[in-house]
Structure 1
Amino acid sequence: MIEQASILLSLAALGWIVALALTRPAVRRSRGGAIALAMATLYVATLVDDPSPLAALLFLIAITLAALLPRRRFDDAVAWGLRLAWLGATAPILPLRDLTRVGQARLRRNVPGVRVAAVVAALVMPVAGAALFLALFASANPLIERAFAGIALPDATTVVWRVVLAVAVLLPVWATLRPNPRVTAWDGRIAGVALPQTGVGTLILSLATFNVIFAGQNALDIAFLWSGAALPDGVTMAEYAHRGAYALIVTALLAGVFVLATLRPGSAGAASPVVRRLVTAWIVQNLLLVASSGLRTLDYVDAYGMTVLRLAALVWMALVATGLALILWRLLRGRSAAWLINANAFAAAVVLTACAIVDLGATAAAWNVRVALARGRAGPPLDLCYLERMGSSALVPLATLERHAHGAGLRDRLGYLRWQAQSRVAADQASWTGWTFRNARRLATVEAMVGPRAPRLRGPGQRRDCNGRLTGGPQR
């Protein structure tokens, strides 16, 4: 849906930014508001280039922060997340609140207002009478009857959906132009039950045990994964790499939660030198564990190729390693919980922004094609079905493969797959609702490489599978 209305969506988002900047000068004067507004503009540029749900979500967060930051400085990422959720939950009632305030202001100033009941009562007779007389004239005069018959009323379902869409768009815009003051007045504190303190002796025993167990796992990874030693019979490197990648990340996350829950700054455990050394050693081992998970994934990619999920997993592992390093830094330097939360939120925002700008599908496809051209049969098998499912993201990589294909059969299959993707992209580009800058660049690149015309294919009109192979029988 978002991809099919890129221009309209981008223009609406840009208009939203302009309206917020013009109607609320405090946003421009506030440093935080100006930065958030600049980030919202960056996400609009991303929507113009290639719209995606992630870019739209980041734009909503940025422009909402721009509307609220002039009223309260950024203190805690979790508190601000709850404030944004509060503003979103109360957005439907904000217009009613403002209308009520307008009515109350009129009453205080004795300004005469328009009563809806009086207007309805005044219109009943003229409207009903006019409808009656027009119906009589239509039955008596064929010219009037034909005129009424030629009037095409809009479909009721279409009208309802357009009204719902208009309301869904106007509510968040109204919430940023007229934000609820209670949202920023809240200090972000939530009453809760304090976590029990863990004794220093228990912490030392637990951390020593954890370090020994983690040392065993890391020793096995160093022996077989990092050094490249031969695995025992019946265990392949692909199996060893694939099975442990995600489980080890869960292990590292649990370790981070344990440290956060039991070693808060100012606690007895955090003040103990022995505990601090054991925690430092344990977090370092967790970082090695995350690095081993990344290496396992890279080994699996080396054997079976890159996918969007595997690329996203590598990005996630880097983010987990950053979080562990920040936990260690907080413990050693005595940083506050707010500092740790904001640092992790900033790292996550940077990663999500990069993922919104970069096409992960195109990155994975380009990696597979580059490896296939460099290593040939010695590299991982090239999954043409996967490239076919990626659509426009694989258009340029398919054209690159087609240009470098040696065999006539392979060139025929790649030409078919490339032309199918190129035709779909060209059809989307022909519609103003589906046109994007990124696909325009892709089409221009492919046309410069292989031309705008369809390739000469074997068995024209016959069905093919996702690999581009002829399967026999005419295409449906």
Structure 2
Amino acid sequence: MTDIPSIATASPQPGGDAPSLPAPNAWAEIALAGLATLATALFYGTPWGIALPAFLALVCGGALALNPPVAGGDARLGGIATLAAVLILLADAVTPLSLLLAIPAVAASLLALTCRWLPDLADRVRAVGAMLVRGPQLLLRDGRAAFAWWSAHGGRQAAVSGIGRWILPLGLGLIFCLLFTAANPVLRGWLDQLPVGDVDAGRVVFWMMALALLWPFLRIPAPAGNRAPKPISPDDWRQDPLLGLLLSPAAIVRALILFNALFALQSALDVYYLWTGHALPPGITHATYAHQGAYPLILTALLAALFVLVALERRPVPRAVHGLIIAWIAQNILLVLSAMLRLATYVEAYSLTLLRLAAFIWMGLVAAGLVLILARMALGRPNRWLVGANLCSLVLTLYVVGWVNVPALIAEYNVSHCLEMAGGGPALDWEYLGRLGPQTIPALDRYTALPANDDLAGAAELRRELAQRFLSTHTDWRSWTLRDQRLKDYLAAHPDGIDHGGQP
């Protein structure tokens, strides 16, 4: 495997130092980790109250300790008074309005106390906005700078490179693990038996978000001034030294080996429990197994496809990487098929809805996209071709779906598979069919024709209301459609006492 070049952006001087690269602030990084952990403990899954102003006061204290205030006189007094005013407001009540006032005010006060903004009002507004929304970008930028600084010190180059090659496999692998445990109650049960079984995916995501949001408050950015932005070449990201480390052949191979192993475990469980119908562990039904997995697995497949596209852009792609990517895409296709089977099992237990039908279509598009990635690799086409092929697939699918009478399709399926009609499955939610509109009337007629049906009167009344409203609102030739005409013809042949108002 080829070695990647040093990610240092400045040449170290004879002492091993690179004065053009600022040393990372270890205290800021420690404070960030501590505050993010405290924020997760205080606010995740709990209502916000007095803990919020207390936490913001702690953040302000840490920010001023790491960025000593230099404003004097009235500016310092005004900043402190503003902080006190908004913290008292939050202590009184945490409401959307108090949050809308307090969070920008805290950012503005810290900028004023540390003299990190320009005199112009528009520049100050932009500086406050940047502190509130540019956290992920600033954290990534400073993380890259820290990597560059550590890399510039020759004795640490090997260690930094070694760590860098594991960041992508372990980081994305952890995300896949969290998605799989959210999607698979069997895996979740296994995880609960481990000492780390109480890991909450939402809590981890909340902690990561807290890192990004808090960083600008601890490392308050200097004013940008009016410097013209540096032109960015479309190919710059491919030449980025940090990406060269994170996406080096060694890192990609390690990631693909780890990901293939994780996906193989998930696929093996799906084949055993879902495809072959083996009994699930006690307390887990097939409906529960299906419901928990359909949507997280699609998100997993999308992340996997994104990783493959990025990995393929860094040329040349070694033959071993090609083989691992093909194996992984094949596993992702199986994963999407399993997600579709999960959703079908759930629909069988709880009926079909518009959202679930849309999920089927979306899963089919994801599966087609994965197949197109294989075609792109086989044909040696660029990512632009892949985007165009997926766009064509999307347009063709939407065109075909446009010809389908979706409300009638959902209604026919639910009536045909309901408890009253088929002797199994869920009871028909005829009120939901009413919300889908008058195109469900033929299916409702099949339902109301059933003998000894307790819901017969309510469903029949809903049918009459739908038909009457349809006939009274579709009287103008300008609103005519072929689909509506077919329904009019059906209602004319099956009036059931409806007043047609002279309409055929």
| TM score, norm. by length of structure 1 | 0.52
Residue identity opposite 2:443 in structure 1: P
Which of 458, 464, 467 is matched with 1:413 structurally?
Answer: 458
Distance 1:288 1:398, change over 3 A: same
The residue that corresponds to 1:249 in the other structure is 298
Asked whether the equivalents of residues 419 and 426 of structure 2 are also in contact (C-alpha less than 8 Å), the reply is: no
Aligned equivalents of 2:417 and 2:356: distance in 1? Answer: 16
Tell me the amino acid that sits aligned with residue 323 of structure 2. R
Task: Give yes or no for contact 1:419–1:454 (8 Å, CA) kept in 2.
Answer: no
Please give the alpha-carbon distance, in whole angstroms, between the structure 2 residues aligned to 1:424 and 1:405: 24
Could you say if the C-alpha distance between residues 443 and 409 of structure 1 is closer, same or farther in structure 2, counting changes exceeding 3 Å?
farther
Which residue in 2 is equivalent to 1:209?
258
2 CA distance for matches of 1:301 and 1:330?
A: 34
Q: Any conservation in 2 of the 1:368–1:382 contact (CA below 8 Å)?
A: yes
Q: Which residue of structure 2 aligns with residue 388 of structure 1?
A: 434
Amino acid at match of 2:377: L
Could you say which residue in structure 1 is the equivalent of 2:228?
none
Whether contact under 8 Å (2:309, 2:383) holds in the other structure is: no
2:494 alignment partner, SS class = helix
**Residue 438 of structure 1: which of 468, 478, 483 is its match?**
483
Q: Distance in 1 between matches of 2:483 and 2:316?
A: 56
Corresponding residue number in structure 2 for 1:427: 472
Q: Does 1:285 align with 2:328?
A: no
Q: Is residue 363 of structure 1 aligned with residue 409 of structure 2? A: yes
Pairing 1:228–2:282 present: no
2:350 maps to which of 304, 309, 313: 304
Residue 377 of structure 2 aligns to a residue in which SS?
A: helix
Aligned residue for 1:447?
A: 492
> How far 1:451 moved relative to its partner?
4.3
How far off is 1:319 after superposition? 0.2
Instruction: Tell whether the 8 Å contact from 1:319 to 1:348 is kept in structure 2 after alignment.
Output: yes
Partner of 2:315: 267
Give the corresponding residue for 2:126.
none
**Structural mapping, 1:130-141, within 5 Å:** none
Question: What is the aligned partner in structure 1 of residue 443 from structure 2?
Answer: 397
2:287 matches 1:238: yes
Shift of 1:377: 2.9
- In 1, are the aligned partners of 2:293 and 2:342 still within 8 Å (CA)? yes
Distance 1:222 1:191 in 2: 43
Point out the more displaced range, 439-448 or 240-249. 439-448
> Given the superposition, is the C-alpha separation of residues 190 and 452 from structure 1 closer, same or farther in structure 2, using an over 3 Å criterion?
farther
- Partners of 1:408 and 1:244 lie apart in 2 by 35
Asked if structure 1 preserves the Cα contact closer than 8 Å seen for 2:329 and 2:374, the reply is: yes
User: 1:336 aligns to what?
Assistant: 382
Q: Return the offset for 1:191.
A: 4.0
CA 1:400 to 1:214, structure 2 compared with 1: closer, same or farther past 3 Å? same
1:192 is displaced (CA, Å) by: 6.0
SS at match of 1:268: coil
- In structure 1, how many angstroms separate the alpha carbons of the residues matched to 2:374 and 2:420? 41
Q: How far 1:251 sits from its partner (Å)?
A: 0.3
Q: Which amino acid aligns with 2:353?
A: T
Distance 1:354 1:205, change over 3 A: same
Counterpart position of 1:67: none
Shift of 1:356: 2.4
Q: Give deviations 1:4-40, integer Å, cap 9, x for gaps.
A: xxxxxxxxxxxxxxxxxxxxxxxxxxxxxxxxxxxxx
1:166-201 Cα shifts (integer Å, max 9, x gaps): xxxxxxxxxxxxxxxxxxxxxxx9846333442222
Structure 1 position 286, deviation (Å): 0.3
Q: 1:319 to 1:224 in 2, by over 3 A?
A: same
Offset of residue 440 of structure 1: 2.3
Identity within the alignment, %: 38
Q: How does 1:105-124 map to 2 (within 5 A)?
A: none
The secondary structure found in structure 2 opposite 1:228 is coil
Q: Unaligned stretches of 5+ in structure 1?
A: 1-188, 456-476
Alpha-carbon distance in 2 for matches of 1:240, 1:226? 12
Greater RCO, CA 8 A, separation 6+: 1
State how far apart, in whole Å, the 2-side matches of 1:203 and 1:362 are.
48
Structure 1 consecutive aligned stretches of length 4 or more whose deviation exceeds 6 Å: none
